[in-house]
Each structure stands twice: as C-alpha cells, then as structure tokens.
Amino acid sequence: MNFRLAAAALLIGLLGSATASAQDFPVRPIRLVVPFPPSGGLDTLARIVGPKLQASLGQPVLVENKVGAAGTIGIDFVAKAAPDGYTLAVGSPGNMSVTPALNPNLPYKPQTDFVPISMGVRMPMFLVVNPSLPANSIQQLIALAKANPGKYTYSSGGQGSALHLAGELFNIRAGVDIRHIPYKGTAPAIADLLAGQVDMTIADASVLQHVKSGKLRALGQTTPARAPSSPDIPTIAEGGVPGYSATNWYGFFAPAGTPSAVAQKLNAAFVAALKQPDVVNTLRNGGMDVAPSTGPELGAFLKEDMERWAQVIKQAGIADK
C-alpha cells in the first residue's frame, strides 16, 4: 500500500514538474534550423521571424543553417533532437512532401517524427514562357501543346524537384505532353529559358523580374486563388485547368514528443510574429504571403500535400526515371 502511495506521489510530482516546465518555457535559446544555405527563401523567412519570436518569448532565437542532401540533413537533425521545443525546423515541400514520396528510405517520416507548429508562408509559382512561344494564355498554350505533342519543353532545377512536379501536374491535368528538361539548379534552368533553349518553366517569384523587363511572359500562377502578392496574374485553374494547385510553402515543425503546452506556446508566438504588419509587408515584397495556422491545420495540409505529390510521382513515373 505504501509502495502504491509512493508511486502515485512520484507520478503526481513528475506531472507537476512537466507542467511547470511547460509554463516556464523557454528558459534558454531556441534553435531554428534552416536546411538550406543562407539567403534562400527559408533562410529569409527564419531571419525575419526570428527576432519577433525572441521579443515575445524572451530568449534568443538562433537561426542555424544545416545543409545537404536536398534539405533532408537539417530536417533529420531536428527529427532526432530532444522533444523539448528548443530545436525547431523550417520545412518545405521538397523535404517534407516530395522527397519522402520519392525516397521511402529517408531516415525520418514527416507525419510521425514531427509536431506541426504553424504554417509560415504560402507562395505562388509562375508558369512563364519565352516570348517567342506563340501563346499569350494558358488556353492558348494547351491548344498549342495538344497540336504538337512532345514538341515543347519546360525546364526545372532538377529531377524530382517541386518545380518539376508542378510541370508534370500541369501535363496530367491539362492532358498535354510538354517534355521536361532538368538542370542542376533553378538559375541555369532560367538562363536557358531566357536564351530560348527551352520554351517555358514553372518557377518562384524571382522570375517575375524577367516578366517585368519583357524577357519572359507570365501565363499563370499555380495557387488555387490569386495570391495577394501577385493579383494581376490569373491562376492556371482560371486559365482552363480546373483544380490545378501546386502551392509552394514553408512551415515550422518541432520533434515528435514535444509537450502540447510547449507546442501551443510556440504556435502563439509564431502566429503573433507572422501577423505583424512589417513582417507581412516585408515577406509580401519578397513574393511570400503569410499564412499562420494552428498545428493541426498544418498537419492536415501536410498530409494532403504528400498525397498530391505521391500521386503525381506515380502517374508520371518519376520514381522510375
């Protein structure tokens, strides 16, 4: 009997300690791991949001770039970190949705090895063409491609990249055959498009500088609705491909096992940071639209995104190429 009372007292003590720990969180610096080099989109988001988190949480937020293996090294590092809220990841479609579908032997599982904290931003991608291509709309492009199967080409930053899959999704949904030409990075893929070596590509907002200069023509954006950062460009769905959606996004994740009270405190801090007007304006000027969410909302979105790209990979036979 005394043993049972002692065990119960110990359990109550441990629960009380865990609750107090969650209430006190954080008591030391937080690491925000970016799985890509500095100056990219994920790094930019982390460095804009980081100081806001630091101000609200009262502890330094250190952005740490852990690069390699298409972003999977940094993500795996966070998956294996202590589940205490002090090591977080900035995830993206490549390392959370696409690569897991292409490589089932990854050392982490996005849906079981992480606690979703909040969506950060969503970004449209843009289908742009070389001005020499006689198409001024998505409908004209589809008609041209259907009349000339396999003649036209689109570039991407690499086989199995998010931009590659966005192009394959267009082929599937529009019922066309536009050939994929992979490059070792987005920069050479855009360079050859500008030079007329390929006909089109789907790329992020950085490509709009070439649209503004007249060197490329934008036919559509990939989000389901027109993004606030680019309201003048119609969606691909509007242009004649119903249901087309290929949203680029960045979200925040903690290791699985992170206490719910800590996750909720982090969520509140991220949401508050993302809603600040200067953050909204700065990110929008960079082509990113803030999209704070609850943790479960991010989890549901991740599940849907993984299913979408797994289906595209299967239909296009990408894993077999």
pLDDT in tens, the chain (321 residues): 455 655 555 555 555 544 446 778 999 999 999 998 887 889 999 999 999 999 999 999 999 999 988 889 999 999 999 999 999 999 999 899 998 988 889 999 999 999 999 999 999 999 999 999 999 999 999 999 999 999 999 999 888 888 899 999 999 999 999 999 999 888 899 999 999 999 999 998 889 999 999 999 999 999 999 988 889 999 999 999 999 999 899 999 999 999 999 999 999 999 999 999 999 999 998 889 999 999 999 999 999 999 999 999 999 888 654
Q: Which of the listed residues 190, 219, 245 is the one where a domain comes to its end?
A: 245
1 falls within a domain: no
Q: Does residue 256 sit in the same domain as residue 229?
A: no
- Quote the number of domains for the chain: 2
12 falls within a domain: no
Contacts of 296 (CB under 8 A, 6+ apart): 116
Say what the pTM is. Answer: 0.85
For tokens 């070389």, what's the residue?
130
Q: Does residue 173 sit in the same domain as residue 216?
A: yes
19 falls within a domain: no
**Domain of 157, in residue numbers:** 126-245
Q: Which of the listed residues 198, 213, 245 is the one where a domain comes to its end?
A: 245
72 falls within a domain: yes
Q: Does residue 132 sit in the same domain as residue 239?
A: yes
Query: Which letter, b or e, does each residue of 143-166 get, where b requires 16 or more Cβ atoms within 10 Å of its Cβ?
Result: ebbeeeeeebbbbbbbebbbbbbb
114 falls within a domain: yes
Q: Does residue 131 sit in the same domain as residue 239?
A: yes
Q: Does residue 238 sit in the same domain as residue 253?
A: no
Tokens of 91: 């995830």
Q: Does residue 102 sit in the same domain as residue 173?
A: no
Beta bridge partner(s), residue 289: 122
- CA 263, CA 85: separation in Å to the nearest integer? 7
Query: Do residues 77 and 90 touch, judged by C-beta distance below 8 A?
Result: no
Q: Does residue 241 sit in the same domain as residue 253?
A: no
Q: In what order do the strands lie in the sheet with 61-65?
A: 61-65, 30-34, 87-91, 248-255, 114-123, 289-290
Residue 113 has a CB neighbour count (10 Å cut-off) of 18
Q: Does residue 63 sit in the same domain as residue 165?
A: no
Question: Any idea what DSSP says for residue 195?
Answer: T
Q: For position 162, what pLDDT does the model report?
A: 84
CATH number at residue 164: 3.40.190.10
For tokens 């696409």, what's the residue?
98
293 falls within a domain: yes
The reply to whether omega before 104 is within 30° of 0 (cis) is no
Q: Does residue 147 sit in the same domain as residue 285?
A: no
Q: Does residue 70 sit in the same domain as residue 170?
A: no
CATH number at residue 117: 3.40.190.150
Q: Does residue 263 sit in the same domain as residue 294?
A: yes
Residue 128 parent element (H or E): strand 126-129
- CA 165, CA 312: separation in Å to the nearest integer? 7
Question: Any idea what DSSP says for residue 182?
Answer: E
Q: Which of the listed residues 245, 271, 305 is the one where a domain comes to its end?
A: 245
91 falls within a domain: yes
4 falls within a domain: no
At position 305, the amino acid (one-letter code) is D
Q: Does residue 117 sit in the same domain as residue 153?
A: no
